[in-house]
Structure formats: structure tokens, C-alpha cells
Amino acid sequence: MKSKPRREGEPIFVNRYGNPLKASGVRFKLKQYAAAAGKKVPSLVSKRVSPHRFRHATAVNLVTAEVDVTVIRSWLGHASLDTTSAHRHPGITIVYVLQGEIRSKVGDEPEQTYTAGQMFLETPGQLHAVSRNAGAKPAKLLALLLAETGKQLTTPA
């Protein structure tokens, strides 16, 4: 693979015409690389590889490394550092507040504030309409998602 210096503002990932690689191009290339890797490591063939899984794995590793949640949210491109968009999970979700406070509205329940030591549950497919930091400092959560293998863990509402 040849490398050449890149000018300021020039895209890093480009297609064969030199245009920025779009989401479909990223998925296409990732599928090619996953297939090639599967020939060398057969156990990879049964794995679902997607940009979303890389994004999720990166976020989990950053959380594990105790990177500040505001940095993680910024890297993930959340519109606001205090709010996560309405979403659903395909399985049961158990959320435990480790530190700080969050405001949350799940299903038909009223919006509530949860503090360190409290937890809440989401049933499969239930709308999580509100999820935002409620305190002066970023909250830290432990979320356990139980879903079928291969299911996308979060879908926008």
C-alpha cells in the first residue's frame, strides 16, 4: 500500500476516483477485508463484522479505559454531550448508575432522575425517549444488554 502526504482538509478514506468514501463504501470494503481475514482465521467467518460493531467496541474500550464520557460522546458524534437520542434495544437492558445523576424516560413511565446506586430496566423494544445527564458532572453508567447474537444493540426510535 502506497502512502502519500495528505493536504489539510483532504479526506483520509477515498474511493477509486479520489472522492470521500461514503458509508456504503466503508461497508463494502469492510466486508471484503472480513472475507479475506476469514480465509486466514476460519473462526471469523461466523462473526458479524460491521462499522457499527467497530464503533461499539471502540466506545466500550474507551469506557473500560475510564475515558471521560463527554470525550466518548464527542467522538461518537452525539448531537449534544448531555443527551442521547431516543432509541430502542432488542433485548433486556439493565442500567446501573455508578456515579452522578441521569434523567431517563423509558416506555410509559414518567421521566425520572436516577442517582448513584440506583438502576432501571428496559424490556425488549421499549422506547427509551429521554436519556441525559442530570448533574453538574458527567454520570457513569454500567449497562448490561441481553440480546440475541447478531442483533443490532441500539436502534434509533
Predicted pLDDT of residue 84:
66
Q: 3-state class of 8 per DSSP?
A: coil
Predicted pLDDT of residue 111:
93
Predicted pLDDT of residue 9:
74
Predicted pLDDT of residue 81:
47
Predicted pLDDT of residue 2:
61
- Name the pTM for this structure: 0.50
Minimum mean pLDDT among 43-57, 67-81, 127-141: which range?
67-81
Residue 38 burial class via C-beta count within 10 angstroms: exposed 0-12, middle 13-18, buried 19 and up: middle
Contacts of 115 (CB under 8 A, 6+ apart): 97, 100, 101
**54-101, pLDDT tens digit by residue?**
777 777 777 777 777 667 766 776 545 455 678 888 888 888 888 889
Q: CATH says 80-156 is which class? A: mainly beta
